[in-house]
Amino acid sequence: MELPISFKERMQRLLASEYNSFEAALAMPAPVSIRVNSIKYQANLVLQKVPWADHAYYLPERPLFTLDPLLHAGCYYVQEASSMFVEQALKQAVDLSQSLHVLDLCGAPGGKSTHLASLITEDSLLVSNEVIKSRANILAENIAKWGSGNVLVTSNDPSNFSRLPEFFDVMVVDAPCSGEGMFRKDPQAINEWSEENVKLCAQRQQRILMDVWNALKPGGVLVYSTCTWNEQENEENIAWLAEQEQAESIKLVLDPDWGVMPTQLNGVEGYRFYPHRIQGEGFFMAVLRKTGESSISQKSGKKKKYKLQLAGKKEKALVQDWLLEPDKYEWLQYGEVISAIPANLFEAADEVYQHLHVVYAGTEVAEVKGKKLKPMHTLAVSQHLNSGAFNKVELDLELALRYLRKEDISLDSSGNDWVLLKYKGVPLGFAKQIGNRVNNYFPKEWRIRMELPAELPETNILIGS
């Protein structure tokens, strides 16, 4: 690995006697880690744990994740271990027992967002945003698979969030950066790196931070992170913001065994992750609290016109038993799609709909087809699915993978009804049985595209570890 000369010189100054160990670590294979969806799957894994995150583990090698149905079912997420440190930031700086409004500004592909969804309460709202539309669709897919039901996926420029002044209790900004921390995983990042690009990234990060700052409540917490090591994009930017807005730095308690390196500039604390010290990629994080008083006056008693459209009583009656505790939800209908969001989040969700472009919300439950209803795939992978409302069929590995490839499959049953297909007891999706024929309703855009090998892997990542 040929590192840029100016990058090497800067890292030698930063790390001094540790530099040789750092460069040697960059030549080693990147560790592989996953975070388990503990609501969907109770795993008792005999694996090394990621020390700063619950339900997170290192794998001894990188398996062929595509051929594990439990990944497609949202039972775990493949996530870089360093970025899971957001868990410590929230646990130490935020009262997670409260009902919160949380923003993940740069959410795609979904690692931090699914992590945040696992940390907050069911009556909290997570807005997960991605400005690039194609990436926002990938984010929505991963959010749907995780199945929390209290997440809105949006696709907006950071400047649009000024329309929601003092709306969020927590904002996570994993800012686009020069990517130095990804050199080991992505050699292309080395080719794209330059001192000029570092400066451009630092300037863009400042714009992003100022664009969204007004949307954070006084007393609210900002978690800022990058996957790079230079001071311009890290310490200098966060110290600049703290001075600009009189924000308060939050110091986190570190376990010395973690290997995380604390750093400080102008009284602002930061945390650095180096591959020779921790099992993970390059990363930086800092946490600030917004000071001051609210500048928003009391809202008038004028009746609000809602943008969210409620489903009719007839439609609601047909689908409400498909979710556990159906009375906890407001049932919405847009066109042919009926969806559900937690009732206590209706007002907040409507506020988001009023001002932002929403790609996906809550749990999409059913599609209206004339007088009939088709259960949505997103219902099958929801944490709140009432599986007792459907006939169920357990699939073996080969049938599960053929279903996930959207191939024709046959079941040892007959009838004329919707069937919930499961693998290892976990819902995978729906099929429609018509006599002895089975229609595969796995989403076309989510299907496995690779050809299945002649011999399928025997060991599941979460089973038999």
82-289 CATH: 3.40.50.150
What's the pLDDT at 463? 64
pLDDT digits (tens, 9 = 90+) for 275-303: 999 999 999 999 999 999 998 876 666 66
CB contact at 8 A, 243 and 193:
no
Q: Check if 75 is active-site.
A: no
Is CATH 3.90.79.10 the right assignment for the domain spanning 306-388? no
Residue with tokens 């698979």: 145
Q: What angle do CA 123, 129, 133 make, to 5 degrees?
A: 140
CB within 8 Å of 165: residues ≥ 6 apart: 214, 215, 295, 296
Cα 28 from Cα 23, distance rounded (Å) = 9
CATH topology identical between 82-289 and 306-388: no
Residues constituting the chain: 465
Listing DSSP states for 227-296 in one string gives S---TTTTHHHHHHHHHHHTPEE-PPP--GGG--EEEEETTEEEEEE-TTTSSS--EEEEEEE--S---P
Which is catalytic among the residues 75, 106, 201, 227? 227
Per-residue pLDDT of the chain (465 residues; tens, 9 = 90+): 799 999 999 999 999 999 999 999 999 999 999 999 999 998 788 899 999 999 999 999 999 999 999 999 999 999 999 999 999 999 999 999 999 999 999 999 999 999 999 999 999 999 999 999 999 999 999 999 999 999 999 999 999 999 999 999 999 999 999 999 999 988 899 999 999 999 999 999 999 999 999 999 999 999 999 999 999 999 999 999 999 999 999 999 999 999 999 999 999 999 999 999 999 999 999 999 999 999 887 666 666 899 999 999 988 999 999 999 999 999 999 999 999 999 999 999 999 999 999 999 999 999 998 878 999 999 999 999 999 999 999 999 999 999 999 999 999 877 889 999 999 999 999 999 998 889 999 999 999 999 999 998 766 678 644
- Spans of all domains in the chain: 82-289, 306-388
219-277 pLDDT, tens digit per residue, is 999 999 999 999 999 999 999 999 999 999 999 999 999 999 999 999 999 999 999 99
Look at residue 295 in the predicted model and tell me its pLDDT.
Answer: 85
Q: Is residue 256 reached through a cis peptide bond, with omega within 30 degrees of 0 on the bond before it?
A: no
CA distance 462 to 36: 9
Backbone φ and ψ for 446, nearest 5 degrees, come out as -100, -5
Separation between Cα atoms, residue 377 and residue 164, nearest integer Å: 32
Query: What is d(CA 90, CA 258) in angstroms, rounded to the nearest whole number?
Result: 17
Six-digit token string for 332: 């919405």
Whether the model clears a pTM of 0.85, i.e. scores above it, the answer is: yes
